Chains A and B, each alone.
Chain A
């Protein structure tokens, strides 16, 4: 709210409140993620409580801090809070100053005592504070549908007063469900898949299949940029770049054109599967969406996914393309995704890819060449890059 100088931000946990025995892990993870996300504000102080994280603003700008917090997974909502002494008179006067700055017409006071030794009951605090506001402002009480809710919490050493809530991003703290390996192509879908994976608490690493020189260095830079953009939601990200050209060329040499994409996807899954196991990652995810292209029919997904025994989650599977695009705009990856660089899927686009591939036919084609060796080579030559979201770009000093 305008003109109010808040002392704290109270961050309320989201869905994790439901979790019983792992609660402590959740809170600790969220606490770590929050501190990393807010590393640009070094003077903030933090308090972990059972119902939320309490951030002491210490003169930092409330709006800037809230803006960053709004993109941290795991919070239901945030409230700005002002401090009061553990004293009814001070509580009343602070609540009044907050009410006075509001442009709203109706209000309700909701008090809560964490410290039951406070000599006034919650009900008394409500009534006394409401009386103070009624006599000193034009606001009217509306207990059913108030425009302004004033929350008062009394603790054993202090009290604080909060007004309206700002909605959080929801989801689980990133990392609480361990890690996912996202197959990142450079298109619209895979960054969205990465985002949705993070939302359910998976810390994302990316695997990208590069077909240089059939794809350009700019195409790879685009993938790294997309990874950097989504890393905003988990602070940093590792991208594994697989040199895929030799394997791809072998596929086109030995496999009928109609099966080339199917076999290529099977090889990608095999490589992702091995890398996931090597890095103790339990989930593979990607931007596949049911029916979008020939390799994403139920038959194709079956035949392709069967080469891999790591759990495959496809967060976009049941989404429309328009929904995916909306999300990609929301998370800020769309403009980069549509940059016109070839990716490994578009470079050798066959004329008539098969929509209902058969497993035995795949095996027949795969027996024709030593793909095992080529997969080993791919794995051996993976280059892994760690990208930290806040790191400045190299040429920034020029401008």
Chain B
């Protein structure tokens, strides 16, 4: 039975070249990057070189980058770290369809520290209207956090306009979660104050990520510890992972254009085939990112997932981080979509057209057998 992986939005396989580099780094450069003997200093130097390279790739300053365990930690550090350092401003604006690592950090602030959170709802095209952001801004707004690309339906927010609106109309900081856009579409960090990045969505390592934070912005660490990461994240540096992140981002950005073109072909092909089937509703907006198609069928998503799984096809019914929680999806319900029949497929540079055909054939067969009209 073939295995067809159409869930790259959940995670991606590690690029063998990155794995090889990581193995070499782990074996040869296991020293503590804060040790003062030569071999420790070498690790430190390599890690700082990686930081420098990443800064260059993202067109930011080296000291704006903090290595984290992934985008969830980066989101948590951006939001809660900023709140801890600025206790006098207790209003935050975000969207209702952020990743759980943003949403639950905000809810924690609301529950435990009395923060007021304004959650904006996406419009019919699945995006957050910059005018709505403008309306919500207040004197005491500390932060506006809006994700770049939504991970369940694939809508792309106009963060360039939103950041300008925030800057022109308030003194609030602007944060964006770029987990689903890095390596797929352009990210312009100019005038962005904080941004979160993940390695494992671009064929890097799990447990590796990055917070971009403009150096002058004060935040408090969530993990108290030593001098690592400017004192903002304690714990011995995960140096081999941090070092290899530079190569991960470099390879992803180098292949971005050709990969995204290929993904576009998969997307167009799949979308036209899906449109040929009866009883399918496409939930993703037309102008969304081409890595994600969210659609609904006539059978419960869990049943469809099981049936596809039996044919070796791997897809998700919602954000994978919420897959074991029996609550309706915030993202889909915010768009008025019944989430119990919606599923998400996602494409990556590795996927082939034949895999899409195999998927479509399987879907057809399953709908015929179990679909009820």
Q: Measured between C-beta atoms, what is the minimum distance from A120 to chain B in Å? A: 72
Q: In angstroms, how far is the closest chain B Cβ from the Cβ of A116?
A: 70
CA distance A235 to B359 in the complex (A): 42
Complex contacts, B302 vs chain A, CB 8 Å: 216
Q: Of A23-31, A164-172, A207-215, A315-323, which binds chain B?
A: A207-215
Complex alpha-carbon distance, A134 and B83, angstroms: 79
For chain B, the count of residues having a C-beta within 8 Å of the partner chain is: 11
Q: Which applies to chain A's interface (DSSP): helix, strand, loop or mixed?
A: loop
B→A interface (CB under 8 Å): 302-310, 366, 370
Interface of B, secondary structure class, is helix
Pairwise interchain contact A217-B303, C-beta atoms closer than 8 A: no
Nearest 5 A/B pairs, CB to CB: A213-B307, A213-B306, A216-B306, A213-B303, A214-B303
Q: What are 7 A-B pairs at a CB distance below 8 A? A: A212-B310, A213-B366, A214-B303, A214-B306, A216-B309, A217-B309, A249-B370
- Closest Cβ of chain B: how far from A112's Cβ, in Å? 62
User: What's the least CB distance linking B313 to chain A, in Å?
Assistant: 11
Q: Chain B residues near A214 (CB, 8 Å)?
A: 303, 306, 370
Count of interface residues, chain A, beta-carbon cutoff 8 Å: 7
Q: A212-B307, A213-B309, A213-B370 are in contact. List 8 more A-B contacts (CB 8 A).
A: A212-B306, A213-B308, A214-B303, A214-B306, A214-B370, A216-B309, A217-B306, A249-B370
* Residue among A213, A215, A217, A249 with max Cβ neighbours from chain B (10 Å): A213
Complex: how many Å from CA A310 to CA B5? 47
- Which among B303, B308, B309, B310 has the greatest number of chain A C-beta atoms within 10 A? B303
Q: Give A249 to B307 CA distance when docked, in angstroms.
A: 15
- A340 closest partner in B (C-beta): B326
CA distance A212 to B302 in the complex (A): 11
Residues on the B chain within 8 Å of A213, using CB:
303-310, 366, 370
**A-chain residues with CB within 8 Å of residue B303 when the two chains form the complex:** 213-214
A contact residues around B304 at 8 Å (CB): 213
Report A-chain residues with C-beta under 8 Å of the C-beta of B307: 212-213
B residues less than 8 Å from A249 (CB atoms) = 370
The CA-CA distance from A214 to B366 in the complex, in Å, is 12
Chain B residue nearest to A214 (CB atoms) is B303
Q: Which of B306, B308, B366, B370 contacts A215 (CB 8 A)?
A: B306
**How many whole Å from A34's CB to the nearest CB in chain B?**
41
Min Cβ gap A397→B in Å is 19
CB distance from B310 to the nearest CB of A (A): 6
Kindly report which residue of chain A lies nearest to residue B370, judged by CB atoms.
Answer: A213
CA distance A216 to B302 in the complex (A): 8
Residues of B near A217 (CB, < 8 A) are 306, 309-310
B323, chain A: closest CB distance, angstroms = 12
Min Cβ gap B86→A in Å is 42
Q: Which residues of A contact B366 (CB under 8 A)?
A: 213
Give the complex CA separation of A214 and B300 in angstroms. Answer: 9
Of B305, B306, B309, B366, chain A has the most CB atoms within 10 Å of the CB of B306
- The answer for the CA separation of A249 and B303 in the assembled complex, in Å, is 14
Q: Give bound CA distance, A217 to B311, whole Å.
A: 12
A208-267 at interface with B (beta carbon < 8 Å): 212-217, 249
Query: When chains A and B are docked, how far (Å) is the Cα of A249 from the Cα of B366?
Result: 14
A40-75 CB mask vs B (1 if < 8 Å, else 0) is: 000000000000000000000000000000000000
